[in-house]
Amino acid sequence: MLIEIRHVTTYRYGTPARYSIQSLRLTPPSFDGQDVLAWTISAPGFEKHIEYRDGFGNIVHLSTMSGLHDGITIEASGIVETEDRSGIVRGLTEVAPRRVFLRETERTAPDKGIRDLARSVSNGKVPKDVLDCMHALMRTVQDAVDYEIGATHEHTTAAEALADGKGVCQDHAHVFISAARLIGIPARYVNGYFLSGTLAPSEAAHAWAEVWIDGLGWVGFDPANGMCPTERYVRLACGFDAGSASPIRGTQRGGENEALDVKVEVEQQGGQQQQQQQ
């Protein structure tokens, strides 16, 4: 499948900023089942760009802007060819050893609710059939957290989302990752894009999880949709949680009263188009 993506992020400031620095994880990698045919990043006004791979293997562009400015616009766009590999991820540049993805973070720290959820599918130990267990965990998380836009925010933790029983794809992924790590399965957070044809219950900009399964490698699970990634998914970046996998992270001097606008368009060439605005 050929998928065309346009991702525009705009920051506006109530008072001028004097200096901005942005870390951009906006370049999808090519690997088995995902081939990036064309991709560009436009960031008018940024004078310096440094490209490197971070500790998770993500392609990162570090960009800076000096001088007074009342906003910035960053646009990433391109065409990606995808194939359905049943969620199995192979051919990526792997930097971090998989054991680091057992690490808890503030957003994925488990509480009693998550511990109980993990025990419900694993009896508190690594199962003999990890694949079946992760499918069961995916369905359990989907049932436990209703998809509701606006029910949570950027910094909502897995424990908070599960306790409230509502959230979006970020929350589904955090709960799944937290429980998988409790079971003893390395798990990581993935940002990307999803062509669903509708904005509910999924989003054009999307998030899911990957877990390590011996004999298969990294395998994706999307609890928000109750499925493993297919050819409708474009993988962008991974990390411990939503913070470390964020497509854009940055700061500025000055620039008070920041307003953020994000527009994502995902379109199958010759087919349907999906848009999302934040």
Q: What is the pLDDT of residue 202?
A: 47
Residues 50 and 92 in one domain: no
Q: Does the pLDDT of residue 271 top 90, yes or no?
A: no
pLDDT, one tens digit per residue, over 34-59 is 999 999 999 999 988 899 999 999 99
The beta-strand segments (E) located in the chain are 2-24, 34-42, 48-53, 59-82, 88-89, 146-147, 166-167, 187-194, 205-213, 217-221, 233-239, 248-254, 259-268, 273-277
Q: Which residue has the higher pLDDT, 200 or 75?
A: 75
Q: What is the pLDDT of residue 201?
A: 43
Residues 122 and 97 in one domain: yes
CA distance 151 to 259: 20
Inter-axis angle of helices 112-122 and 130-144, nearest 10:
140
Residues 205 and 230 in one domain: yes
Residues 262 and 185 in one domain: no
Residues 154 and 175 in one domain: yes
CATH code, 194? 3.10.620.30
CA distance 45 to 65: 6
3-state secondary structure of 10: strand
Q: What tokens were used for 13? A: 């400031």
Q: What is the pLDDT of residue 198?
A: 57
Residues 216 and 107 in one domain: yes
**Domain of residue 73, residue span:** 2-81+246-277
Q: Does the pLDDT of residue 157 top 50, yes or no?
A: yes
Q: What is the pLDDT of residue 220?
A: 98
**Number of structural domains in the chain:** 2
Residues 119 and 227 in one domain: yes
Q: Does the pLDDT of residue 118 top 60, yes or no?
A: yes
SS3 of the chain: helix, strand, coil, percent, to 5? 20, 45, 35
